[in-house]
Amino acid sequence: AVFIAVGTPPGEDGSADVSYVLEAARSIGRTMTGYVVVTVKSTVPVGTTAKVKEVVAGQLRERGLDISFDVASNPEFLKEGRAVRDFMMPDRVVVGVESERARALMTTLYSPLMMTDRLLFTDVVTAEMTKYAANAMLATRISFMNDIANLCELTGADVNMVRKGIGADARIGSKFL
């Protein structure tokens, strides 16, 4: 397995700049000599892993080689300030694969680090979307609480008590409020 874990800084329009991801894919395609699972760890828009596959395949064609490879999406869900702990004891590890061979290799790779019940295998696009959905949910909760804080300021309500009051509901929870 070869992991692509490079930055995807925002472009001028706010979209993710995946040029570093694609350059890493070109490098892999220029140098690989046998089967690998090219695994995208970077936070990328849905569809980027398919572009990685095209880039690697293009480099292999330029080299005149027919080497088998798979791509996988393995998004990161590390919490700020808890990266090492989250890596060693993750809530879940999402891996999007397109073949049983890739799934077997990723299972072998992760099995020493965690219990296999934390591995969630999906297709590649679903793994990419899961990362974006998780980020959107967290951003929504934070934005919601910021709006509630503004309303509390206007009305004189105690935002900390409101946060505790709604966070006690098990359906809502207190995290990110």
Angle at 106 between CA 105 and CA 108, to 5 degrees: 65
More confident residue, 90 or 70: 70
Report pLDDT for 148. 95
Please state, in angstroms and rounded to a whole number, the distance separating the CA atoms of residues 16 and 140: 19
High-pLDDT (> 70) share of the chain, %: 97
Mean pLDDT of 53-76: 97
pLDDT at 127: 97
The pLDDT of residue 77 is 84
Residue 45 buriedness (CB in 10 A; 0-12 / 13-18 / 19+) = middle
Classify 37 as helix, strand or coil. Answer: strand
Mean pLDDT of the chain: 92
The structure's pTM equals 0.84
CA-CA distances (angstroms) from residue 115 to 73, 106, 108, 152, 157? 20, 13, 11, 44, 45
18-58 pLDDT, tens digit per residue, is: 999 999 999 999 999 999 999 999 999 999 999 999 999 99
Q: Which residue has the tokens 């080299």?
A: 63
The whole-number pLDDT of residue 115 equals 60
Quick one: DSSP state of residue 116? G
Residue 70 vs residue 168, higher pLDDT? 70
pLDDT tens for 77-115 read 877 788 888 877 888 899 999 999 999 999 999 888 766
pLDDT > 90: what percent of the chain? Answer: 71
- The first and second tokens of residue 14, run together, are 């706010």
Q: For residue 70, what is the enclosing H or E element?
A: strand 69-73
Amino acid residing at 160: N
pLDDT at position 144 is 92
pLDDT of residue 11 exceeding 90, the answer is no
pLDDT at 8 over 90: yes
